[in-house]
Structure 1
Amino acid sequence: MTRPVYVHDLDGLASHAQFIRAALPRRVELLYAVKANPDPGVLQTLAPIVDGFETASRGELRRMAEALPGRPPAAYAGPGKTDEDLAAALSARVDRIHVESPAELRRLGALAAAAGTPAQVLLRVNLPVDTPGVHLVMGGGPSPFGMNPEDAVQCAARPPAGIEVRGVHAHLASGLDAPLAGAVAAAVVRWSVTNVGAEEVDIGGGMAVDYADPTARFDWVSYGRALNDVLDAHPGLRLRVEPGRSVTAYCGAYVVEVVDVKRSHGEWFVVVAGGTHHLRTPAAKGHSQPFTVHRRRGADGPHSDGGPVTIVGQLCTPKDVLSRSATAGPIGVGDIVVFAMAGAYAWNISHRDFLLHEPPEFRTGDPLRVASQWAARPHQS
Structure 2
Amino acid sequence: MMEKIVQSLRMERENPFCAYLYDLSKLRHHVHRLMTTLPSSCRLFYAIKANSDVTLLKTLAPIVHGFEVASLGEIEKVRAVDKKIPILFGGPGKTQKEIEGAIHYGVTLLHVESLHELQLVNHIASQKGTTVSILLRVNLRSSVPNAQLKMAGVPTQFGIDEVEVPNAIALAKCLPNLKLLGFHFHAMSNNGDSKTHAYFVDHCFEMEKTWQKEWDIDISYINVGGGIGINYQDVEEQFDWDDFMKCVKKVVEKHKDANWQTLFECGRYITSSCGYYAAEVLDIKQNHGKNFCVVRGGSHHLRLPAAWKQSHPFTIVPVEKWPYPFTRPEVNESVITVAGELCTPNDVLARDISVPRVRVGDILLFSYAGAYGWAISHHDFLSHPHPEHLYIESNSIKSSDARTEDQRDESYMFS
How does the TM-score come out when normalised to structure 1?
A: 0.93
Give the distance between the partners of 1:79 and 1:355, measured in 2 at CA. 31
Give the corresponding residue for 1:260.
283
Give the match for residue 45 of structure 2. Answer: 31
> Does structure 2 conserve the Cα–Cα contact (< 8 Å) formed by 1:256 and 1:338?
yes
Structure 2 residue ranges without an equivalent (≥5): 1-14, 398-411
Is the Cα–Cα contact under 8 Å of residues 61 and 73 in structure 1 kept in the other structure?
Answer: no
The one-letter amino acid paired with 1:67 is V
Distance 1:279 1:100 in 2: 30
1:232 aligns with 2:253: yes
Q: CA deviation at 1:331?
A: 1.2
Query: What is the CA–CA distance in structure 1 between the aligned matches of 2:391 and 2:235, rounded to whole Å?
Result: 20
What displacement does 1:231 show? 2.0
Residue 204 of structure 2 aligns to a residue in which SS?
Answer: helix
The 4+ residue runs of structure 1 with deviation greater than 6 A are none
Tell me, yes or no, if structure 1 residue 306 matches structure 2 residue 317: no
Equivalent position to 1:285, from 304, 308, 313: 308
Structure 2 distance, partners of 1:258, 1:175, is 30
> Which residue does 2:180 correspond to in 1?
165
In the TM superposition, what whole-angstrom CA distance separates every residue of 1:215-269 from its partner, at most 9, and x where no partner exists?
3332112211222222223331111011110111100001111111111121111
Please list every run of 5 or more consecutive structure 1 residues that lacks an aligned counterpart in the other structure.
377-381
The residue type paired with residue 127 of structure 2 is A
- From 203, 206, 222, the equivalent of 2:227 is 206
Q: Give the share of equivalent positions with the same residue, in percent.
A: 36
Within the candidate set 344, 364, 368, 1:337 is matched to 364
Q: CA deviation at 1:113?
A: 1.2
Please list the CA deviations of residues 68-90 of structure 1 after superposition, one character each: whole Å capped at 9, or x if unmatched: 2x124420000111111111111
Q: Give the equivalent residue in structure 2 for 1:319.
A: 346
Give the Å deviation of 1:184: 0.4
Specify the alignment match of 1:379 in structure 2: none
Structure with a larger share of its residues in strand: 2
- Which piece of structure 1 moves more, 357-366 or 45-54? 357-366
Q: Aligned to 1:359, what secondary structure does the other structure show?
A: coil
Tell me what 1:188 maps to: 204
The Cα of 1:41 is off from its aligned counterpart by: 1.4
With normalisation by structure 2, the TM-score equals 0.85
Q: CA deviation at 1:25?
A: 0.8
What do the CA deviations read for 1:198-218 (whole angstroms, capped 9, x no partner)? 431100000121001223332
SS at match of 1:307: strand
CA shift for structure 1 position 46: 1.2
Most deviating of 208-217 and 339-348? 208-217
Within 5 Å, which residues of 2 pair with 1:212-223?
212-223=233-244
Written as runs of structure 1 = structure 2, the 5 A alignment for 1:1-381 is: 1-68=15-82, 70-159=83-172, 160-176=175-191, 177-196=193-212, 197=217, 198-235=219-256, 236-299=259-322, 300-365=327-392
Aligned residues: 370
**What secondary structure, in the 3-state scheme, does the structure 1 residue paired with 2:119 have?**
helix
RMSD: 1.9
Q: What is the SS of the residue equivalent to 2:291?
A: strand
CA contact (8 A) 1:32 1:50 kept: yes
1:121-178 deviations in Å (ceiling 9; x for gaps): 0000011224223221111132210002243223223422210010000111123211
1:64–1:73 CA contact under 8 A, matched in 2:
no
Partner AA of 1:151 in structure 2: E
Aligned to 2:12: none
